[in-house]
Amino acid sequence: MIFFAYLGFDIIATTAQEAKRPERTMPIGILGSLGICTLIYIAFAFVLTGVVDYRQMDNDGSPVATAIDITHLFWLQGALKFSILFGYTSVLMGLMMGQVRVFYAMSRDGLLPAIFGRLSPRTRAPAFSHLIFLIVTCLLAGLAPISVLGNMTSIGTLLAFVLVCVGVLILRIREPNRPRAFKAPGGLIMPICGILSCAAVMVSLDGLTWLRLGLWLAIGLIVYAVYGYKKSKLNLPELPR
């Protein structure tokens, strides 16, 4: 489940419309932040396992807090837990911003109702989408076990990565001459490796997680069949995208 620590770096891509040179700054932002955080993860794990035997850390979702509690350094316990809360908050804000922007883009393409793309006159942000995700996130966080949420987030993100890799393969085969501002090395090998690696982790998850994924997929397909397919601007080329 170590891949879970690397979720969210792709959120940077949702701000591409606000970048002056996205073909240059997006790869730097995504790969640069990924590299920096990887070094921080390694350094933090190195220090933590030097402070406490890794076997004394529990596996209930808060091993860092548990490890610090074992040290009985009360000043460090409070400071570190306070820092963890700030870290969680920043991650949540970033992820929710990315999800709202995805719905905003889908709304502009006609795949979702226009209300998801409606901007607030004062803030010029999709306020309705922010409010909806605020409510849904609070309900899930308050009512669902963290292990269930973790598995649902994992399998949903992995499936999204698989679909992106499949989409890259399809575009490279069907539209090889489409202008591409950014190209990843490796040709078709990289997306195939992405599909295989993500699928391998998905297989390790339990049956109930797969069942929940199936239900969410069914809901999404129903929305697409009832609304998105008919309203999609890809099916209405005379409308501006």
Reported pTM: 0.76
Can you give the pLDDT at residue 11? 81
Q: What's the mean pLDDT in 193-219?
A: 91
Terminal Cα-to-Cα distance of the chain (whole angstroms): 39
Percentages (nearest 5) of helix, strand, coil residues in the chain: 75, 0, 25
Can you give the pLDDT at residue 215? 93
Whole-angstrom distance, CA of residue 173 vs CA of residue 176: 6
Whole-angstrom distance, CA of residue 93 vs CA of residue 15: 14
pLDDT band for 7, please (50, 70, 90 cuts). Answer: confident
Instruction: Spell out the residues 6+ positions from residue 191 whose beta carbon is closer than 8 angstroms to its own.
Output: 165, 166, 168, 169, 172
pLDDT, one tens digit per residue, over 41-87 is 899 888 888 887 877 776 556 777 777 777 777 888 888 888 888 88
Question: Rounded mean pLDDT of the chain?
Answer: 84
The better pLDDT of the pair 197, 237 is held by 197
The better pLDDT of the pair 237, 172 is held by 172
Tokens, residue 18: 């606000």
Whole-angstrom distance, CA of residue 216 vs CA of residue 19: 32
DSSP single-letter state for residue 222? H
Percent of the chain at pLDDT > 90 equals 14
pLDDT band for 16, please (50, 70, 90 cuts). Answer: confident
Residue 1 has pLDDT above 70, yes or no: no
Residue 214 has pLDDT above 90, yes or no: yes
Query: Rounded to the nearest 5 degrees, what angle is found at the Cα of 116, between the Cα atoms of 110 and 119?
Result: 110
pLDDT, one tens digit per residue, over 160-198 is 889 989 998 998 888 888 888 777 777 788 899 999 999
Q: What's the mean pLDDT in 207-227?
A: 91
Can you give the pLDDT at residue 60? 56
